[in-house]
A and B are shown apart, each in its own frame.
Chain A
């Protein structure tokens, strides 16, 4: 249960950061403007946050703009990263194997201790994606200890989204712009400061240590109004119904050819997607031959080897790879995880080099009826 809303003056953001450190979260990670995008990096104080920055996103486009009079630090939608790299590392060792002189093999776990980290500025869409990944990696017959250790090290400070990008459609998937669950603290940014609520006991402990006053009803109403406007302002959408049967009925639709001709099969969409979880395993032997590290790293269903079978590829053609991605994300995902695999963050649209727009492709596919021959 969220606690009643408190007010954090803009000038006190650094005291929040100190309180987080006092609670044991020695590392703070937050949004910074770097290389022309909002990315999550280690931060020291509120001065590192992207004050006055806005993102302009469109199919195949991402630009940051500075508003010189802007005081707000969260007046942007998102950058290419979600929480994903913090919980499901792009590349990490799973175990090590040592070989002795007689050829005997000894297998050992790798260190799974991670510095307690508070993440500032988590978006609702990314919390929804986190929930999906927790289901995939942890609510499994084989819970993943690597994911569990990283997840357990995080304290999440959500900031409700008030400035969605043109590529956003979280309102239609039901995953934003308000962070509904999965956070330790959630904040709404107003010009004068933040309306803050706690979602967990650690969150309540942090708030209690700050001695904040209650947010006024005007402040709460303004915060709600901004989130409601952020939902209304979204121009893109996906149909909110389960598209599984509709997609399964269109496996031979000619539009797969059309999108397959535009798609470069580069895998950008899967790298920025907060719910894509495919990963490859590989062995990295040490040069002296005495040990090897077994790694996993992000993979993509757009690579040829993803479906490699020794003597053939299941998905040789790009159209088949796009169809796999889309029918999994919006179709079979329902059967596997009880919901769609899309949280409406729009990253796959902005970061696609040729501007393929999932909402437009789905709309075209759905326009015509059952195209199964």
Chain B
């Protein structure tokens, strides 16, 4: 029987320092056969393994058709991610995946795609944004609402500015705390809904970030007459196996590692914001 827990070897091909505590690793499978069999969907994640330390679930930033390299943006928050920060080009690590359900691509086709995200929560939606931009004719308008705590937390600022200049695309940014070089809004991401051009009947909404932020955003979206049925969100929980066995990631009946991390909002509604789930 195949061992679903066992990683394969990958090599760090490129390393980008995004902020002092956030870095992006570009990874390549060392076995070409593994590379050719690997298929991902935007919103899925991999379990990354640091030799002798352990595994962590990290969402995939790459476009599914981007051949060869897998991009992971990681914040140093714990034992494993702090250790991974020290990896350099040429170093080896382990990887298994991709796991979980990604964004509902089929339901998004032909519609306006509204992305609402906060903090580094943007990582799971970046592959979706890239997916839309690389297949622009298959989608309607693209609206991106991004909130960060501090202006320094905005990684990929140039990328956002590039997206802002594209036709049929609206990019709105807000920081809780503004600063001298911050030309965008100040406040929570929810302040952006006044400026956002959202057609409630044509839009599919994808949210990612802290759950209080998503809950507040959903309330605003419902007030704008966006149906609950059109909303999807990606959540995080402690995940150790990625394959629905270890039990840590449960939220009510859901195993986030397999039933998520992307959920249809109506399925998650009873649990969202309930302390302890």
Contacts and interface: CB of A to CB of B under 8 A. Distances in A.
A94 to B, nearest CB: 4
Nearest to A138: B1
Given A109-B3, A141-B244, A299-B247, A281 B55 contact: yes
B245 A301 contact: no
B246 interface: yes
Interface residues of B, number: 45
Nearest to B1: A145
B93 to A, nearest CB: 7
Given A145-B3, A309-B238, A332-B253, A279 B247 contact: yes
Contact of A306 (B5, B238, B258): B238
Given A105-B94, A109-B3, A285-B52, A137 B245 contact: yes
Interface in A177-207: none
A136 interface: yes
A324 B237 CA distance: 14
B141 interface: no
Contact of A278 (B1, B246, B270): B246
A95 B241 CA distance: 13
A108 B240 CA distance: 19
Contacts of B1: 143, 145, 148-149
Interface in A115-146: 136-137, 140-145
Interface in B188-244: 236-238, 240-241, 243-244
A294 interface: yes
Contacts of A299: 246-248
Given A105-B93, A107-B7, A279-B245, A307 B55 contact: no
B165 interface: no
B246 A320 contact: no
A310 interface: yes
A328 B54 contact: no
A140 B243 contact: yes
A2 B241 CA distance: 38
Contacts of B18: none
B243 A94 contact: no
B51 interface: yes
Given A94-B5, A103-B92, A336-B253, A306 B275 contact: no
Contacts of A104: 9, 30, 92
A140 B259 CA distance: 13
Interface string B1-38: 11111111100000000000000000000100000000
A315 B3 CA distance: 31
Contacts of B270: 248
Interface in A85-100: 94-95, 97, 99
A149 B3 CA distance: 12
Task: For chain A, give the interface size range.
Answer: 35 or more
Contacts of B244: 140-142
A314 interface: yes
A141 B3 contact: no
A335 interface: yes
B183 interface: no
A212 interface: no
Among A95, A281, A301, A323, max chain B CB count under 10 A is at: A281
A142 B51 contact: no
B3 A278 contact: no
A229 interface: no
Given A105-B92, A106-B9, A307 B248 contact: yes
B240 A281 contact: yes
B238 A95 contact: no
Nearest to A98: B51
B54 A281 contact: yes
A141 B54 CA distance: 23
A215 interface: no
Given A94-B5, A141-B243, A283-B53, A103 B253 contact: no
Nearest to A100: B92
Nearest to A103: B92
A311 interface: yes
A25 interface: no
Interface in B236-271: 236-238, 240-241, 243-248, 250, 252-253, 255, 258, 270
Given A99-B51, A248-B270, A301 B253 contact: no
Contacts of A283: 52-55
15 contacts: A95-B5, A95-B7, A104-B30, A137-B245, A140-B243, A143-B4, A278-B248, A283-B52, A283-B53, A294-B55, A296-B5, A307-B238, A309-B238, A323-B276, A332-B250
